[in-house]
Amino acid sequence: MTDTTTTPTDTARSEHPALIASKASQSAASGKRKEEWLNLFAEDGWVEDPVGPSGFDPEGKGHHGREAISKFYDMTIANTDSLEFIIDDQLLCGNEVVNIGRIRTVMAGAQIDAEGVFVYRVDEEGKLQSLRAFWEVERAMKTLVKL
């Protein structure tokens, strides 16, 4: 039997626009570089983090456009002491990358790990069209450790 699956080469993987955008997003967020992070998004881009209703997004419709994404940043990333992206695996699919792993957040003397799937979609220019984070708030809260 012949294997008909295709796997991107290391070079193709490293040059994948969605992978590049996801790494830039994680670097800017963990470095607390707001303008750099915002500039990664397309004009009509949006963030759903987490996907569905949450304290960050009671209606679960996401944060659409630069102004809403900026407010999301101020409400979340800006309030952390540190963010660390621990990515165990990545899947490249069309103009998207799926990152599987966890985001470790430290704030107010506590550490929380949000285990999940983080999906980044880019447009033709390599700008983030969407960032969708699938993780459960209650599950993450169970990892809370006082530092």
Number of independent structural domains in the chain: 1
Angle at 71 between CA 66 and CA 77, to 5 degrees: 110
| CB-CB contact of 137 with 49 (8 Å) | no
Residue 7 has pLDDT above 90, yes or no: no
Q: What is the pLDDT of residue 6?
A: 53
Share of the chain above pLDDT 90, in %: 90
- 1 found inside a domain: no
- On the question of a cis peptide bond just before residue 53, with omega within 30 degrees of 0, the verdict is no
| 82 found inside a domain | yes
Reported as a single tens digit per residue, the pLDDT across 48-85 is 999 999 999 999 999 999 999 999 999 999 999 999 99
pLDDT at 58 (0 to 100)? 95
Which residue's structure tokens are 């880019």? 122
**How high is the pLDDT of residue 60?**
96
Domain that holds residue 29: 11-146
112 is a domain residue: yes
CATH number of the domain at 90, please.
3.10.450.50
